[in-house]
Amino acid sequence: MPGSSERSSASPGAVAILAFVIGVASIIGIAVLRGPYGPAEAVASAQGADDEGDRPGNGRSKASSSASASHSSSARVSSTTAAEASTGEPAATAEPEVASDAETALAQFKDRWRARDTKGAIAAAERLAELDKDAFKDNDLQSDLVGLTQQMSQMPGKEAERVFTLLTKKTAPYGLDVLLYLVTNKGGSLAADISEKLLEKPEILQRGTKAMQVAYKLRKASCPKKKDFFKEAGEVGDRRALGQLQIISKTSCGRRNTCCYEKDKDLDAAEAAIEARLGQ
């Protein structure tokens, strides 16, 4: 039958075309679904494997760790810079080990003071006082303490109290030599004013050496009262008392100066005794 013959011949062709179309569509569909990743990458992407917490080890990529470290370092630098700007001092270095002997403590003090680390310097000085109070007889050490006291007297909080406690208690009698020097040579400074107020207290003044005490008494006494200390100065005084006596002896008498000691035998004797003791 013509009709039957046409259906029979058309059917295989239609089936072939349909099969071809379906095959092409399947290939395209699979490619689209897979995307640019392979199966493993696709799963990893879907699960968020790029999240830091899913990585082995510290969970950070090198780039992430470097960036974080750089940020932390910058933060520390910024913090240090801010601290230096607010205090006007170099950032404090790491705390030194506690010295076990006086030589080490003295070296630590000098290192800290050279670096202008005032808190480190005072800590080392306090340790030195515990180990060897006699070390504070040294003129060079006392000179450094003059500078340290001037700086710390202007610091906020209890830092000023700390340095004056060192001088009046922990290193007495030698620490009071520093107070006297500040009074006589650094007048007008805050450190000198504080030192003056401390030395005016008899219970503090008596902690100093006899030579230091008589020098201060000669300085503070009114002109008529200075004579009361000439004999004591001759017996125990040093170059500091001698300096005060020389100031007195050089004061000329006149109508406006009713208190003077020109050709005073006690004054001359005191000066001569000190000069002999000093080998002058």
Check residue 101 and give left, alpha or beta (phi > 0: left; psi -120 to 50: alpha): beta
pLDDT the model gives residue 98: 87
Per residue of the chain (280 residues), what is the pLDDT tens digit? 434 433 444 455 554 555 554 554 454 443 433 443 333 333 233 233 333 333 333 333 333 333 333 333 334 333 433 444 445 555 545 566 888 999 999 999 999 999 999 999 999 999 999 999 999 999 999 999 999 999 999 988 788 899 999 999 999 999 999 999 999 999 999 999 999 999 999 999 999 999 999 999 999 999 999 999 999 999 999 999 999 999 999 888 877 777 889 889 999 999 999 999 999 7
Q: Are 137 and 174 in contact (CB under 8 A)?
A: yes
Token pair for residue 51?
């999240």
Classify residue 221 by burial, with Cβ atoms within 10 Å: 0-12, 13-18, 19+: middle
Token pair for residue 278?
């000093």
pLDDT the model gives residue 3: 40
